Amino acid sequence: MVGYHANDEVRCNKFLQEQKYLIISEKDTEYLGTGMYFWEHKCDAQWWLQKKKEQGKACIVKADIRITDDNTLDLTDSDIAEKMGKLIKIIEKSEGKIFCSTKSGEKLDCIFRTYSEMSKYEIIKGRRYYETKPESSFLWGTQLTTKVNDFYCVKCIAPIGEREKVA
């Protein structure tokens, strides 16, 4: 698949130029933990682009990402999310001792670091609902929506292929 990522121009350029560089923030503790985040659609990266532009020059890069059943932990799959939820529930007993917040990313990172079985997953796939995201009037009153976005947290360089600046 092709993934889109918005960030400041310096880091985007570095990502384009250096094959081993991923844009990873220490602050990514909220969603899927440590990794570089990609959106499935360029328009979803646009929102982040505007936000980044408030702080300076920013752009959107796209990358080919090799996603397979074997290298991806798909948390949009209800069965897998259910089982992960059971693990997280146990982990939460240690809240305040190993990690200091209630954020899902920290808990996922904790499981990834502790259990070597998880190292096969190079990517975590997640899905987010944006209640206030505007959508086309043709969808109003239907069961269809564009308020739900899939996104990917890429944890290592291996699944990343060609890269390109697109905005």
Task: By CB under 8 A, name the one of 30, 76, 92, 94 that touches other proteins.
Answer: 94
| DSSP-based helix, strand, coil % in the chain, nearest 5 | 35, 25, 40
Please give the residues from 15 up to 34 whose contact with other proteins meets the rule CB under 8 A. Answer: 18, 20-27, 34
**Out of 1, 16, 118, 167, the residue judged to bind other proteins by CB under 8 A:** 118
State which residue, 97 or 131, has the beta carbon closest to other proteins.
97
Residue 78 binds other proteins (CB under 8 A): no
Residue 111, CA distances (Å) to 71, 87, 104, 154 in order: 16, 8, 11, 16
Burial (Cβ within 10 Å: 0-12, 13-18, ≥19) of residue 87: middle
Residues 51-70 that bind other proteins (CB under 8 A): 68-70
Note whether 136 and 86 are within 8 A (CB).
no
Rounded least distance, CB 118 to other proteins, Å: 7
x/- mask, other proteins, residues 119-158, rule CB under 8 A, reads x--x--------------------------------xxxx
Report the DSSP pairing between strands 36-39 and 58-65. unpaired
